[in-house]
């Protein structure tokens, strides 16, 4: 065993003390300064050096003594005058005065400039002593400045890492990072416009400055909302404590893009919150994003009633199928999901207790009734004879919750109401151009809507798609599925297909195999070809296009797609809505589910005559007789006008008369 020497042990402890940081270094510098000053003081006192004129505080006394001696000399006898003067005893500084002189010269380099030399040479020794002390002081002061600068830089670097504790309370916490985060933050800023000191805190395994720069680049104005970023792993309990999760209003968990199995990371984040040893006794409000539906049960086991789960792929796929069958539906969903227009609210209204759902439909002028919440369960478009009981809440679409009030007039034009004639479902042909993981969900969802014997053709340039499509074909009941390998941007391929024979065309991005911009570019090229073919042949068909980047929608609008599905935008909107109101999770589940009440855009001629203008009370009454709830309309003439909401009007004033054309639509909630 190697023997440790005294000097090695001393060096070890010295090195450890130097690694203690800025405070430790300043401490050592103070020790060195004290040692230098004490050494200089000892030398000064021992050698009795002093500047010309003696000690500063004795100067006046010396001058007085010299005057007295001069007077005595003048009155002295000649023989005494000629005598040799008695040598003066050499005096020096006291220890305290010497310490002060040493300290001042070590701290102030200008002090040495005032030192004067005596004729006997003692002053020069004092000057050299003062110069040496001053040089030592300059070295120490320079070291101190360097240490303080390094310490400040270290502190700034520590702050840059985003590891400091967040003292915010009642804030919205976002865990993880994905392209959807910008839409989520934007919507939270709108939702918090009337809130007191709104705060959004983000914890992600990403550089803090990089996060802040990206947010500033994507979001122009956060309004009154302050966005705080912290770097750390959302599954690390120590990092999680930094963002104060136990004082949050709501927690949004985003699916991380960098993992091959993102759902496992999301479940770990849920576990880190709900099973945290420092967790609060009150339940959390967690909204988590999952990729695969098979992981729902595990996530529910971990989060129980504290977590609401959102599956973006399922959501986008369902909306894509519904929108492909009803032009303009994506605009309606966006109106309901964002915070910029009308939203869905729950309200207890005593004035409707004891009345049926059908009776109170026309009791609200400024809001659109869509359902009832009773005993914790929400039912959209319930049977018209459903009675509202004490404690039940009505579910309404309104600009704000204070606009939900009993002020309707129920002025119905009976002569304009058209008799309901149910139609038999017809077989149809559907076409999907392009492919990604959502295609499989879209095919299964489409099978729930179409009549038996309908067709689905899939065209993709990815060879692996054929195997997936053939497997799907064996599982579907109503659809006959076929696959064609080919480049969806190839004009010859598109010309060879009888596009007008398809009732619905869906363009999917190659988002699983290409970068976002490249995938969107391919979709845009295909869309331009389709519209050019349509223009030259003079035959119209419905096209729904999926976009990954919301900015590319503005470019694609020149191609006049009937609808755009922006995946990240819709997922971000839904996450934000549920984060602000937990009850909305079940509402949207019902809306997007083929088995529940859904939103439809049906011909206005199925409800009222277009010969004269009618108010919305009349449309509401006509829809009620079909066990449907009318919530708005779409004017086809404004279908391409973004400023007019592409012709979509949700929750219109019911007493206002509207003139419809035969191509316009009524927006209703219905079972089919």
Q: What CATH number has the domain spanning 172-310? A: 3.40.50.720
Q: What own/partner pairs with CB < 8 Å and gap ≥ 24 does 588-594 have?
A: 590/378, 590/379, 590/380, 591/380, 592/314, 592/315, 592/318, 592/319, 592/322, 593/318, 594/318, 594/445, 594/448, 594/449
Q: How confident is the model at residue 82 (pLDDT cuts 50, 70, 90)?
A: very low
CATH of domain 6-51+93-160: 1.10.287
pLDDT of 661 strictly over 50: yes
Same fold, 6-51+93-160 and 172-310: no
pLDDT of residue 119: 46
Task: Show the DSSP H helices in 348-430 as ranges.
Answer: 357-360
pLDDT (average), residues 629-640: 91
360: left (phi over 0), alpha (psi -120 to 50) or beta: alpha
Mean pLDDT of the chain: 84
CB atoms within 10 A of CB 101: 27
Asked whether residue 405 carries a pLDDT value surpassing 70, the answer given is: yes
**552-599 pLDDT, tens digit each:** 776 766 655 566 777 778 888 899 999 999 989 888 888 887 777 889
Q: What is the mean pLDDT of residues 414-420?
A: 88
pLDDT of residue 296 exceeding 60: yes
The residue among 59 and 35 whose pLDDT is bigger is: 35
Compute the average pLDDT of residues 626-632. Answer: 95
Which band of pLDDT confidence, cut at 50, 70 and 90, is reported for residue 196?
confident
- 84-117 confidence digits (pLDDT tens): 444 445 566 788 887 887 777 777 666 655 565 5
For residues 308-328, one letter each, b for 16 or more C-beta atoms within 10 angstroms of the residue's C-beta and e for the rest, the string is: bbbbbbbbbbbbbbbbbbbbb
* pLDDT value, residue 96: 83
Q: Is pLDDT of 185 > 90?
A: yes
Kindly report the CATH class assigned to 429-565: alpha beta
How sure is the predictor about 69, in pLDDT bands with cuts at 50, 70 and 90? low
Segment 406-426 mean pLDDT: 83
Q: Provide the pLDDT for residue 80.
A: 47
Across 490-512, average pLDDT: 91
**DSSP symbols for 628-657:** -EEEEEE-GGGTT-GGGGGGEEES--TTSE
What is the domain partition of the chain in residue ranges? 6-51+93-160, 172-310, 429-565
Q: What is the pLDDT of residue 420?
A: 77
For residue 8, pLDDT over 80 is answered with no
pLDDT at 408: 79
Instruction: Say which residue, 87 or 387, is predicted with more confidence.
Output: 387
Instruction: Give mean pLDDT, residues 331-344.
Output: 86
Q: What is the mean pLDDT of residues 171-186?
A: 93
Q: 116 Cβ partners below 8 Å, 6+ apart? A: 51, 52, 53, 123
Instruction: Give CA separation, 609 vs 31, 296, 418, 604, 670, in Å.
Output: 97, 47, 6, 8, 21
Q: Which of 16, 240, 37 is nearest to 134 (CA)?
A: 37
Q: Confidence class of residue 2 from pLDDT cuts 50, 70 and 90? A: low
- Under the banding of pLDDT at 50, 70 and 90, the label for residue 48 is confident
The per-residue pLDDT for range 347-364, each reduced to its tens digit, is 998 889 999 999 999 999
Cα distances from 597 to residues 78, 385, 441, 558, 669, in angstroms, run 134, 16, 20, 34, 6
The predicted pLDDT at position 57 comes to 45
The token pair at 203 is: 């914890």
DSSP E strand stretches across 356-477: 368-374, 377-380, 393-398, 429-433, 454-460
Q: Over range 199-228, report the average pLDDT.
A: 92
pLDDT at position 91: 62
The percentage of residues in the chain with a pLDDT greater than 90, rounded to a whole number, is 45
The predicted structure's pLDDT at residue 163 = 81
Distance CA 251, CA 262 (A): 18
Question: Is a pLDDT exceeding 70 seen at residue 286?
Answer: yes
Q: Which one is predicted more confidently, 22 or 189?
A: 189
657 — phi, psi (to 5°)? -75, 140
Q: Are 607 and 417 in contact (CB under 8 A)?
A: yes
Residue 87 is predicted with a pLDDT of: 46
């Amino acid at each position: 065993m190697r023997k440790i020497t005294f000097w090695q042990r001393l060096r070890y402890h010295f090195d450890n003390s130097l690694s203690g940081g800025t405070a430790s270094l300043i401490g050592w510098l103070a020790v060195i300064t004290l040692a230098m000053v004490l050494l200089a003081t000892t030398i000064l006192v021992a050698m009795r050096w002093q500047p010309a004129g003696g000690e500063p505080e004795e100067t006046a006394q010396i001058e007085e003594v010299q005057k007295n001696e001069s007077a005595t000399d003048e009155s002295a006898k000649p023989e005494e005058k000629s005598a040799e003067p008695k040598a003066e005893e050499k005096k020096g500084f006291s220890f305290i005065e010497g310490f002060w002189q040493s300290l001042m010269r070590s701290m102030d380099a200008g002090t040495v400039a005032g030192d004067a030399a005596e004729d006997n040479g003692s002053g020069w020794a004092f000057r050299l002593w003062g110069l040496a002390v001053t040089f030592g002081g300059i070295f120490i002061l320079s070291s101190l400045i360097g240490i303080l600068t390094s310490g400040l830089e270290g502190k700034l670097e520590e702050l840059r890492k985003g590891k400091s504790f967040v003292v915010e309370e009642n804030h919205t916490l976002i865990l993880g990072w994905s392209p959807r985060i910008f839409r989520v933050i934007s919507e939270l800023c709108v939702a918090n416009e009337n809130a007191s000191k709104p705060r959004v805190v983000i914890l992600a395994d990403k550089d803090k400055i990089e996060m802040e720069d990206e947010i500033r680049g994507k979001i122009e104005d956060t309004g009154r909302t302050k966005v705080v970023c912290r770097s750390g792993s959302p599954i690390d309990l120590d990092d999680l404590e930094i963002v104060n999760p136990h004082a949050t209003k709501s927690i949004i968990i985003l699916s991380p893009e960098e993992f091959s199995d993102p759902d496992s990371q999301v479940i770990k984040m849920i576990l880190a919150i709900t099973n945290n040893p420092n967790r609060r006794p009150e339940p959390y409000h967690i909204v988590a994003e999952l990729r695969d539906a098979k992981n729902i049960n595990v996530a529910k086991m971990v989060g129980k009633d504290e977590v609401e789960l959102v599956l973006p792929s399922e959501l986008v796929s369902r909306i894509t199928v519904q929108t492909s069958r009803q032009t303009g539906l994506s605009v309606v969903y966006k109106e309901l999901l964002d915070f910029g227009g009308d939203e869905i609210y729950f309200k207890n209204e005593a004035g409707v207790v004891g009345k049926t759902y059908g009776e109170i439909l026309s009791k609200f002028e400024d809001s659109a009734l869509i359902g009832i919440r009773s005993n914790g369960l929400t039912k959209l478009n319930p049977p018209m004879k459903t009675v509202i009981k004490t404690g039940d809440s009505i579910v309404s679409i309104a600009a704000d919750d204070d606009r939900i009030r009993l002020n309707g007039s129920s002025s119905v034009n009976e002569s304009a109401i058209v008799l309901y004639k149910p139609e038999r479902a017809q077989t149809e042909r559907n076409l999907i151009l392009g492919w990604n993981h959502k295609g499989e969900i879209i095919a299964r969802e489409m099978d729930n809507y179409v009549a038996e014997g309908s067709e689905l053709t899939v065209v993709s340039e990815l060879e692996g798609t054929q195997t997936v499509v053939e497997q799907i074909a064996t599982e579907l009941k109503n659809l006959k599925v076929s696959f064609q390998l080919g480049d969806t941007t190839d004009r010859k391929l598109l010309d060879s297909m009888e596009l007008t024979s398809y009732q619905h065309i869906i363009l999917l991005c190659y988002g699983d195999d290409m970068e976002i911009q490249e995938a969107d570019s391919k979709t845009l090229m295909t869309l331009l070809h389709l519209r050019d073919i349509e223009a030259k042949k003079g035959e119209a068909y419905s096209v729904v296009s999926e976009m990954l980047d919301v900015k590319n929608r503005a470019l694609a609008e020149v191609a006049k797609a009937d609808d755009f599905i922006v995946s990240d935008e819709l997922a971000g909107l839904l996450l934000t809505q549920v984060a602000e109101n937990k009850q909305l999770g079940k509402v949207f589940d019902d809306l997007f589910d083929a088995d529940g009440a859904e939103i439809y855009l049906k011909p206005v001629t199925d409800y009222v005559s277009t010969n004269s203008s009618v108010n919305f009370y009349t449309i509401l009454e006509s829809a009620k007789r079909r066990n449907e709830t009318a919530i708005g309309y779409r004017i086809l003439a404004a279908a391409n006008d973004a400023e007019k909401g592409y012709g979509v009007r949700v929750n219109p004033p019911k007493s206002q008369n509207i003139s419809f054309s035969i191509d316009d639509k009524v927006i209703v909630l219905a079972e089919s």
